[in-house]
Amino acid sequence: MKNYQSLYLLVVLFFLTISASQAQKKSNNLERPKLVVGIVVDQMRYDYLYRYWNKYGNGGFKRLIQDGFSYENAHYNYEPTYTGPGHASIYTGTTPAIHGIIGNNWYDRTTGQSVYCTDDKKVTSVGSTSPAGKMSPANLLATTITDELRLATNKQSKVIAICLKDRGSILPAGHMANGAYWYDGSNGNWITSTYYLPALPTWVQNFNSRRLPDTYLNQPWNTLLPLAQYTESTPDDNEFENKFSEESRPVFPHDLPKQRGTTYDLLRSTPFGNTFTKEFAMEAVKAENLGKNSATDFLALSFSSTDYVGHQFGPNAIETEDTYLRLDRDLADLLNYLDRQVGKNQYLVFLSADHGAALVPSYAGSQKLPSGSVAPRELQDSVKNFLNRQYGNGNWVLSFMNHQVYLNQPLAASRKLDLSQMQEKVAAYLANFEGILKTTTASTLQSANFETGLEAFSKRGYLRRRSGDVVLTLFPGWIEGTSGRETKGTTHGTSFAYDTHVPILWYGWHVKPGASSERVSITDIAPTLAQWLHIMEPSGTTGRPLLEVLKK
């Protein structure tokens, strides 16, 4: 009898242990990190991870890659690849065709004016008397992962967004953030708008009072390492880089005190703008108690100086390399601070970029590579003259931006013209211009279902109420410039790999080291976070969760 009782007790204990183990496992599956830190590096091409690898320290990019998970083949899946659409796509998990941020600017047919992606005349600046704070996410047509986190926790989660650029802060912050801060170059302060707060918090005022921009701009920008060690870049003195206004040549050292003028805007175009951003972010973590609340908090952090430097000097410049070597140190400082403030492995980080960049066309040409630039103003004037010949004199072209032609639809209707035929004629006319690979009409994008090819990139970037009538696709290596004969600096915006291929790195809470060469999309970041946090995906999500990094 005793043997039966002992056996019975053993069976009961076994099932209780299994049940407890399953309950514990279920409990662990519902855990969330204390803090999510989203990092977007403006204009960071994928190859920067490895081009400068031997110069990076162990605590920044290398720490994220070696101790985290790297998607080596991550791309944007739409055109145009600009800052506003990039930040919106990362945080909404979808493309401009759905979230509505089709460019940094677009033409508004109802007002006849150009619209900036975060413009909002209904709000006012906070922390400045300039109009730099008249911004909000009003033009964003979908929720963000930060919105969904706030909704899921009944607003117990705290969301703070920081970037020198207003759009790099506001679009990641979403519609429900506790705070979004950006830089006002007129006074050197971090500011916000009445959309978020009626006044700057005391901690922000105290940080501004330190006047760090004066410290950064009162010293020259010299290289972090001896100049001769920058073997990954072109020689310092060359013909492919734009100089600062008061320089005779674009070479080190850059005399910042001489260049700065009467404002603080110059800080953006130096690596110290990133350091300033990092310092403010660390202060925000401390002052807002991020990672110490009952629910998961979110810090949306974007580094913009990489973009300003990249535009001015190009992707092969020593200035660009020096900016990334300094950013690597800033990242190391930030991660070490999060270790101390939040706790190692208690926070989850992702790092990506809003777009890449093309080679400077003149540099590419010097290396016998296909390249060139087109001038929107010249194309617009040429299309106007063409339509005048076709239909009589009239203001036929209202705008030309984001690689798109905006035709005067009311004028066409008043003259009883077939808009689709007019679009086809303009598309056929522009297709003959040097540098233009393909033209696609709005009628085609609205009616056809493109899943692959260049047209699919155009369709995902097209929203009828905000987009133009004819979309241009440039040849690889070609950029949209101002004169059509650009010889210095570079830009971005196309559907080719140098603009679309960016890093996606995951690090920290529940992330096991690894890498994947599977082609993934930037729109996959938000649904992956939603899975990890056990919350709803953003309202317009078209991406998918990245299963490799989710495996625990």
Report the distance separating Cα 275 and Cα 192, nearest Å: 20
Report the candidate in 11, 19, 43 with the shortest Cα–Cα distance to residue 353. 43
Phi–psi pair at 436, nearest 5 degrees: -100, 115
Report the candidate in 431, 435, 311 with the shortest Cα–Cα distance to residue 370. 435
Query: Which tokens belong to 487?
Result: 């010889």
Rg (CA), the chain: 25
Instruction: Go through 291-321 and write b for each residue having 16 or more CB atoms within 10 A of its CB, e for each that does not.
Output: beeebbbbbbbbbbbbbbbbbbbbbbbbbbb
Query: How far, in Å, are 93, 183, 399, 457 from residue 452 at the CA level?
Result: 19, 39, 28, 8
Report the candidate in 208, 237, 327, 342 with the shortest Cα–Cα distance to residue 285. 342
Query: Which tokens belong to 280?
Result: 């403010």
Helix (H, G, I), strand (E, B) or coil at 485: coil
Q: Which of 83, 143, 153, 542 is catalytic?
A: 83
Report the distance separating Cα 449 and Cα 434, nearest Å: 28
Phi–psi pair at 128, nearest 5 degrees: -160, 155
For the purposes of burial, counting CB atoms within 10 Å of the CB of 26, is it exposed (0-12), middle (13-18) or buried (19 or more)? exposed
Token pair 């706790």: residue: 343
424 sits in which H/E element: helix 419-430
Report the distance separating Cα 319 and Cα 273, nearest Å: 14
How many other CB atoms sit within 10 Å of the CB of residue 353? 29
Sheet holding 470-474, edge to edge: 397-401, 404-407, 470-474, 436-441
Report the distance separating Cα 522 and Cα 500, nearest Å: 9
DSSP 442-454: HHHHHH----SSH
Instruction: Verify whether residue 490 is a known catalytic residue.
Output: no
Task: Work out whether strand 35-41 and strand 478-480 pair parallel, antiparallel, or are unpaired.
Answer: unpaired
- Spatial contact of 138 and 532, defined as CB atoms under 8 Å apart: no
DSSP 141-209: -S--HHHHHHHHTTT-S-EEEE-SSHHHHHHHH-SS-SEEEEEETTTTEEEEETTT-SS--HHHHHHHT
How many other CB atoms sit within 10 Å of the CB of residue 490? 30
How many Cα atoms occupy the beta-carbon half-sphere of 283 within 13 Å?
18
Task: Work out whether strand 501-508 and strand 347-353 pair parallel, antiparallel, or are unpaired.
Answer: antiparallel
Residues noted as catalytic: 83
